[in-house]
Amino acid sequence: MRVIKDEFWTSKQRQEFPLHYIVSYRAAFKAELPDFFIRRFSKQGDVVLDPFGGRGTTALQANLRRRVAFHNDINPISEKIARAKTRPVPLAAIERRLQKFDLSRPVCLDEHSELLAFYHPDTLKELLNLKREIQRDCDDVNRFIELVAVSRLHGHSDGFFSVYSFPQIAVLPEAQRKINEKRKQTPPYREVKSRILRKAKLSLQGAERFQERFPESLNNQIRTGDSRQMRWIEDETIDLVVTSPPFLDKVDYLKDNWLKAWFYGIEEKTFEENLVQTRSLEEWKVFMRETLRELYRVVKPKGVVVIEVGEVRYKGELVNLDEIVATLGEEVGFSLGAILVNEQRFTKLANCFGVSNNEKGTNTNRCVVLAKGIIERLEFPRHQKTLSLFENI
Ligand SMILES: C[S@@+](CC[C@H](N)C(=O)[O-])C[C@H]1O[C@@H](n2cnc3c(N)ncnc32)[C@H](O)[C@@H]1O
């Protein structure tokens, strides 16, 4: 197996288009990762698929590079995030819409009492009214407002609707009550509209006239479904896949996202069954083999599939999932190009904030590069310049 190690993309945080960072999501990868492969293995107008799309990083980056994005994830939250992110609207439209919303109508909070661990009653009233107003019309403006609202549900600064809580994961009400006791805090009133506007303004920097500048985004396909059966994609129509599957049971996508699901009005029961977060390596291998077989069906001849995985500790041993994916990929017919290991050297500052490093002081993304057909020897230039807000795209 050809393993190439280098620092292919920057370890600096938040260097990309601000819209990428609008909402947190568990186990998301940096936009630099899909960008690196999109530039290397596709051209303008090509179709780039992410079958485990998460918060839509591949989809947005594909559009920014003038590719069509196909996005799939079993979690309906992912579809909502990715759709709104790839259809940003002007700030003025958000402002006008918010002005029309009446968030002060009286609401009975009895059946939402658990949420009072997070929100002041008046904030909760505004949120419930906001949900109702958004549901009245599902146009792009409301969808974008909904996305911004979802990004403000829990966190530790005044910009969030909640009292001090964790930004990355939504803790359960019981745990939040404990946090409140420990910190001797009660939820303060946090006005909703001004916080949405402030966050929207930040996130929309550089996103003006999005559809005009990135017209490929009009052909995006954003779906909810199982990676093992993406019937909505025709055979041999995808140029490039860039993705990161769930790593065994590393992350609980249901529990960690329950507040987002509440705001979106999504019943977790509807997709729980097919969400893969297994403890068993054998089950994970079967799942990945089936997904790879489906990817082989949808990818064009000479198309490329990049799968980012990590090392996991399994039954006391360190298992390199990249090696397993490489073998499974070959079993279903792909040829293995290389395993690319991006070594990121963290800055001192990142260490202070407790970013987890391995013993060598580096952290890695391990990307398996597979191709449908014979692949020529791959060269990977380091540090391809990434899009920045200030770059004229
Ligand atoms: C590692 S995350 C992907 C994160 C993404 N790369 C990002 O940057 O946001 C894995 C994703 O797989 C999804 N997932 C789990 N089981 C799935 C299945 N059977 N089919 C499709 N998606 C699934 C989860 O909902 C989760 O969003």
- The residues, ordered by sequence, that sit 6+ positions from 372 with a Cβ below 8 Å of its Cβ are 296, 299, 300, 301, 302, 303, 304, 305, 333, 334, 335
60 CA → ligand 1 middle, Å: 16
Same domain, 199 and 235: no
272 CA → ligand 1 middle, Å: 12
- Residue 136 in any domain: the answer is yes
Domain termination site, one of 179, 203, 227 = 203
DSSP 228: T
Same domain, 281 and 304: yes
Q: What is the pLDDT along the chain (393 residues), one digit of tens a residue?
A: 788 888 888 777 767 899 999 998 888 899 999 999 999 999 999 999 999 999 999 999 999 999 999 999 999 999 999 999 999 999 999 999 999 999 999 999 999 999 999 999 999 999 999 999 999 999 999 999 999 999 999 999 999 999 999 998 999 999 999 999 999 999 999 999 999 999 999 999 999 999 999 999 999 999 999 999 999 999 999 999 999 999 876 677 788 899 999 999 998 777 777 777 778 899 999 999 999 999 999 999 999 999 999 878 888 888 889 999 999 999 999 999 999 998 876 544 444 333 444 433 345 789 999 999 876 666 666 655 554 444 444
178 CA → ligand 1 middle, Å: 30
Q: What pLDDT does 10 receive?
A: 74
- Residue 388 in any domain: the answer is no
- Residue 82 in any domain: the answer is no
Structure tokens at 57: 């990083």
User: In a mutational test of the pocket of ligand 1, which residue from 73, 255, 270 has the highest number of ligand atoms less than 8 Å from its CB?
Assistant: 73
CATH number for the domain spanning 241: value is: 3.40.50.150
Query: Which ligand 1 atom is nearest residue 57's CA?
Result: 8
- Residue 116 in any domain: the answer is yes
Same domain, 301 and 242: yes
The finding on whether 76 has its CB within 6 A of some atom of ligand 1 is no
Burial class of residue 318 (count of CB atoms within 10 Å of its CB; 0-12, 13-18, 19+):
exposed
Same domain, 350 and 297: yes
Same domain, 222 and 194: no
Same domain, 111 and 155: yes
186 CA → ligand 1 middle, Å: 35
Q: pTM of this prediction?
A: 0.92
Domain termination site, one of 163, 179, 203 = 203
Same domain, 343 and 222: yes
- Residue 249 in any domain: the answer is yes
- Residue 378 in any domain: the answer is no
- Residue 127 in any domain: the answer is yes
Same domain, 121 and 225: no
Same domain, 357 and 228: yes
Q: What pLDDT does 382 receive?
A: 63
The finding on whether 54 has its CB within 6 A of some atom of ligand 1 is yes
Query: Which ligand 1 atom is nearest residue 287's CA?
Result: 19
- The residues, ordered by sequence, that sit 6+ positions from 225 with a Cβ below 8 Å of its Cβ are 72, 73, 74, 231, 232
For atom 23 of ligand 1, the residue with the nearest CA is: 74
Q: What pLDDT does 359 receive?
A: 39
Amino acid making up residue 161: F
- Residue 212 in any domain: the answer is no
Same domain, 112 and 66: no
Same domain, 235 and 358: yes
The finding on whether 29 has its CB within 6 A of some atom of ligand 1 is yes
Domain that holds residue 67: 3-75+217-262+273-371
The finding on whether 24 has its CB within 6 A of some atom of ligand 1 is no
Give the CA distances from residue 361 to residues 78, 168, 280, 355, 364, in Å, rounded to whole numbers and listed in that order.
Answer: 33, 24, 30, 10, 10
What's the domain count of the chain?
A: 2
CA dihedral 101, 102, 103, 104 (to 10 degrees): 170
Give bridge partners of residue 166 from the DSSP assignment: none
User: In a mutational test of the pocket of ligand 1, which residue from 36, 38, 74 has the highest number of ligand atoms less than 8 Å from its CB?
Assistant: 74
Same domain, 225 and 342: yes
CB 131 within 8 A of CB 261: no
Domain termination site, one of 171, 203, 235 = 203
